[in-house]
Amino acid sequence: METRTIGSLTVSVVGLGCNNFGSRIGRAETAAIVGAALDAGITLFDTADMYGGAKSETYLGEALGARRDEIVLATKFGAPYEGHEGGAAPAYVRTAIEDSLTRLGTDRIDLYQLHVPDPKTPIAETIGVLDELVAEGKVREFGCSNFGEPLLEEAAAATPSDAPGFVSVQNQYSILARTPETDGVLDECERTGMAFLPYFPLAKGLLSGKYRPGEPLPEGARLTNLGDHAAADLSGERLATVAALEGLARRNDHSVLDLAIGWLLTRPAVASVIAGATRPDQITANVAAGAWRPGDDVLAAVDVIAPRT
Choice among 51, 59, 92, 112 that is catalytic: 51
Cβ partners under 8 Å of residue 264, min gap 6:
173, 174, 198, 201, 270, 273
- 11 within 8 A of 44, measured Cβ to Cβ: yes
Per-residue pLDDT reduced to its tens digit, 206-249 = 999 887 776 776 666 666 565 655 667 888 889 999 999 999 99
Cβ partners under 8 Å of residue 50, min gap 6:
76, 79, 80, 81, 84, 115
For residue 109, the model assigns a pLDDT of 98
Q: Which residue has the higher pLDDT, 161 or 3?
A: 3
Per-residue pLDDT reduced to its tens digit, 23-74 = 999 999 999 999 999 999 999 999 999 999 999 999 999 999 999 999 999 9
For residue 220, the model assigns a pLDDT of 62
| C-alpha to C-alpha distance for 75 and 47, rounded to whole angstroms | 5
Work out the mean pLDDT of the chain and round it to a whole number.
94
Per-residue pLDDT reduced to its tens digit, 110-127 = 999 999 999 999 999 999
- Beta pairing partners, 248: none
pTM, two decimal places = 0.94
- 194 within 8 A of 168, measured Cβ to Cβ: yes
| C-alpha to C-alpha distance for 147 and 116, rounded to whole angstroms | 7
Cβ partners under 8 Å of residue 189, min gap 6:
169, 195, 196, 269
Phi, psi of 166 (to 5 degrees): -65, 130
Give kind and range of the element (H or E) at residue 28. helix 27-40
What SS3 state is found at 21? Answer: strand
| C-alpha to C-alpha distance for 299 and 307, rounded to whole angstroms | 11
Is 199 catalytic? The answer is no
| C-alpha to C-alpha distance for 242 and 302, rounded to whole angstroms | 11
| C-alpha to C-alpha distance for 181 and 183, rounded to whole angstroms | 6
Beta strands 9-12; 3-6: pairing state: antiparallel
Q: How many CA atoms lie within 13 A of 189 on its CB side?
A: 29
pLDDT beyond 80 at 306 = yes
Percent with pLDDT over 70 in the chain? 94
Give kind and range of the element (H or E) at residue 39. helix 27-40
Angle at CA of residue 231, ends 198 and 249, nearest 5°? 50
Per-residue pLDDT reduced to its tens digit, 141-158 = 999 999 999 999 999 999
Phi, psi of 276 (to 5 degrees): -80, 170
Write the Ramachandran bin of 26: left for phi over 0, alpha for psi from -120 to 50, otherwise beta: beta
pLDDT beyond 60 at 254 = yes
Ordered structural domains, the chain, with CATH: 3-209+257-295 (3.20.20.100)
